[in-house]
Chains A and B, each alone.
Chain A
Amino acid sequence: MSVAARLKDPAFWAEWAALAGLIALVIVFQALNPTFLSPGNIASMLVAAAILIILAVGQTFVIATAGIDLSIASVMTMGAVAFGLSYTAGWGLGPACLLAVAAAGVAGAVNGMIIAWGKIADFIVTLGMLSAASGLALILADGKPVTIVDPVLLRLSTGGFGIFGWTFLIALAVAVIAHVALFRTRFGTHLLATGGAPESAAAMGISTRRIKIAVYSISGALAGLGAILLVARVGAAEPASNTSFLLNSVAAVVLGGVSLFGGRGTIVGPVIGALLLTALVNGLTLLGVAQFYQPLAVGIVVVLAALMTRFQK
């Protein structure tokens, strides 16, 4: 197909919606405010995108199996509280990090097991977990944030390599590993088969239950990793609801051109989707648009992206 023909093809734009949107946003914001592309602002955008990238990667695994994880942000909150409690109890940084990931991973595994064995719709199960995990976080934390002062966490959230903060580099590493897992391993192929044609996958001897449990566990564990980065960034472990992280994680995946019906997807797409959402919020803030307009803008962008996916091949 020639370049001109490609540009006229709606499917091309659906496939590359996130990248096209990101480039368009960058051009507009840079034209309106030249500090947008300053090294300092780029660095802060990348750091701000890190947690969302990690959550979006987890969400991608789930959505590629035609599921959805509505509990991802609450599980992250629960992980953060688990981290805060164990850290203040004197566990040390390493064990506290492990606990955060493990607790969140277990919550994800519970999601997966109920969905796979109980044969209950994923959005109901994970909606229940959304409530349960945030409730658990409130109970454990007694509703109060715990301030965490740790030199390593401080360096994690402020240091980096050039304009790339450590947290962004961690998110990038997660994305690279996820890409390899999805496209270069048996697990990834079986995951896509489970999402695209569960009966065919089962007929070929693939355990679709095991795949379901695995993707929700991965989503949970990545929420736990996000929890650590969140505590590092905020400087405290709070039992806050973090609803915007849930919406944005789904939004990034949709923007990234991953089919909500499962069976097809990329990791690059949702990563770009996460960067786009972060750039959108950052740019609006730079332009002095009131904070209340940001969720409105995100909502519009996401629905537009979802409309574009109708043109996918």
Chain B
Amino acid sequence: MSNPNGRDILLDCRDVSLTFGSVRALVDVSLTARRGEITALVGDNGAGKSTLVRCVSGIHRPDSGRILFDGEETAFHSPEDARDAGIETVHQNLALVEDLTVWQNLFLNREIVRRFGPVALLDRRAMQARAKRMVSALAVNVPEVRSRVRRLSGGQRQAVAICRATGFSSKLVIMDEPTAALGVQETARVEELIVRLRDEGHAVLLISHNFAQVMRLSQQVWVMRAGRRVGGRRTADTTGEEIVGLITGAIEN
């Protein structure tokens, strides 16, 4: 699966920097993510992980540096651009709309419409049917697609968000702490989903504070500290202790 020549590199961030006022949120961050691999991004709170993710998913624009996706230079102006390119993000807050139904959330800004002259009306039946297929592919206890997200459990919500991120021919799925709010069983199920995504050939960029999870799931680990990328290891060649050392600064790269 791993390729030393880097031909499988899907996401390639080069010297990405971003400043908010006087805060240097990202300083020359370079990292890559490969197809068919789970790439973990670790670091303390405020290390810049989420900011980097927000650059890749089109929410922020870097001040300098380049982000190459699938071999092409990107200049995303909005999350919609990133989604169109094949980058889907499961945000930490899941980015679900509680008052909308499961199928409405799955198809949010990806709605299927039928045109009647100048007006385009939602094809609810088609969306509901497809949503049913999408959700039933999940290992998690399947939520009814017509129920509002407000009524779902934490694990079900997570499943819906992951389902949405993988359902639209995405190439890269970014997950920001996907199991932080989940119980043991639900975490196991979501991890199964993440592994399945990898096995289907997606590239997964996983942000996690859970070292056991990182060691269990990932093939590559990138470590960030104070806005910089301070280290990168093949997971097979490292230990949890080394990663912790890199995060805290006890080990200099």
Contacts and interface: CB of A to CB of B under 8 A. Distances in A.
B232 interface: no
Contacts of B78: 205, 207
Given A186-B122, A193-B97, A196-B97, A205 B83 contact: yes
Contacts of B79: 202-205
Interface stretch (B37-45, B103-111, B137-145): B103-111
A180 interface: yes
Instruction: Bin the interface of chain A by size.
Output: 20 to 34
B100 A193 contact: yes
A185 interface: yes
A153 interface: no
B122 A203 contact: no
Given A184-B122, A185-B122, A205-B79, A200 B96 contact: yes
Interface stretch (B7-15, B113-121, B203-211): B113-121
Contacts of A192: 97, 99-100
A197 B95 CA distance: 8
Given A190-B109, A202-B79, A185 B97 contact: no
A213 to B, nearest CB: 16
A233 interface: no
26 contacts: A184-B121, A184-B124, A185-B120, A185-B121, A186-B120, A192-B97, A192-B99, A193-B100, A197-B97, A197-B98, A197-B99, A199-B93, A199-B95, A200-B91, A200-B96, A201-B108, A203-B95, A205-B78, A205-B80, A206-B108, A206-B109, A207-B78, A263-B97, A263-B98, A263-B99, A264-B99
Interface of B: 57-59, 78-83, 89, 91, 93-100, 104, 108-109, 111, 113, 119-122, 124
Q: Which 3 A-B pairs have the closest CB atoms?
A: A205-B80, A200-B95, A203-B95
Interface of A: 180, 184-186, 189-190, 192-193, 196-197, 199-207, 263-264
